[in-house]
Amino acid sequence: MIQSYLNGGGSFFMSSMGILFAIGRRAVPAECFQVAGFKQNPTRPRPCDDCDEDFGVPAIFGAPASVASGMNVTLDYSSYPSFDFDEFSFGPDFSDTFTPSSDATAVTFERFRQTCGMSYPNPAWTVRAASFSFRFRSTPCRLTHCANNA
């Protein structure tokens, strides 16, 4: 349904900590979400150091010459739950990282320069789809700050 909407000229913005996990159970969402790679955690809920799923995105910074250029934002997950097990704690940051398709452009990165936000198509054209794999929550003040620096 979303792909049909985009094919018809529509635009789409998504921000979610869990959409890649939910869709990834069937296949990597390469067409609609322009994701070329997403490594799921086979030992979930245990941590996985080389997985994209639940990688964690405590802060983001914008890619140069992108719609997010100049952004440097610490994210606040304090209103989300965490889960304590006998041997480890999990959460509240369940954000993912991913590899964008060759037609998409990385626009935000987390601290280790893993992609956590993208726009599609190529920035030389009008952006028709944008996707963030972290929770995009903003106060009016922060939204104004981002809009002035984007």
Q: Mean pLDDT check: name the lowest of 36-40, 108-112, 143-147.
A: 143-147
Q: Mean pLDDT check: name the lowest of 19-28, 70-79, 83-92, 110-119.
A: 19-28
pTM of the predicted structure, to 2 decimals? 0.77
pLDDT score recorded for residue 34: 82
pLDDT score recorded for residue 26: 58
pLDDT score recorded for residue 97: 93
Q: Which two tokens stand for residue 32?
A: 């609609």
pLDDT score recorded for residue 138: 45
pLDDT score recorded for residue 120: 82
Residues 69 and 60 sit within 8 Å (Cβ to Cβ): no
Radius of gyration over alpha carbons of the chain, in Å? 15
With tokens 């280790």, the residue in question is 112
With tokens 């018809």, the residue in question is 8
Mean pLDDT of the chain: 78
Residues 96 and 33 sit within 8 Å (Cβ to Cβ): no
pLDDT exceeds 60 at position 13: yes
